[in-house]
Amino acid sequence: MLIAVIVLVFAWWPTDIYFYEISLVGWLMFGSLFIWLLLTIIYVRWMESIEDETLDEKDEKENDIA
């Protein structure tokens, strides 16, 4: 994902196209911030769910032993 954004930014940079007096590269970088935020939230939720599952399994094993 990161490599795709980098390639797109550097391919787009020399064109110097403006939208509302801001370069399209600037818009792309601004928009990619929200993509990274979304990916971060998804990753954190995913890791928390994995951590909860492993803690639940560990608790079950401790209860079986006791």
For 6-57, how does the pLDDT look when each residue is reduced to its tens digit (9 = 90+)? 787 778 777 778 888 888 878 888 888 998 899 999 999 999 999 888 877 7
Q: In which domain, by residue range, is 35 found?
A: 2-65
Predicted TM-score (pTM) of the model is: 0.60
42-55 pLDDT, tens digit per residue, is 999 999 999 888 87
More confident residue, 27 or 1: 27
Cα(1)–Cα(4) distance, integer angstroms: 5
User: Which amino acid makes up residue 2?
Assistant: L
63, two tokens = 């209860």
Domain total in the chain: 1
Please tell me the distance from the alpha carbon of residue 49 to that of residue 36, in angstroms, as a whole number.
20
What is the phi/psi pair of residue 34, to 5°? -70, -35
**Cα 18 to Cα 36: distance, rounded to the nearest angstrom:** 24
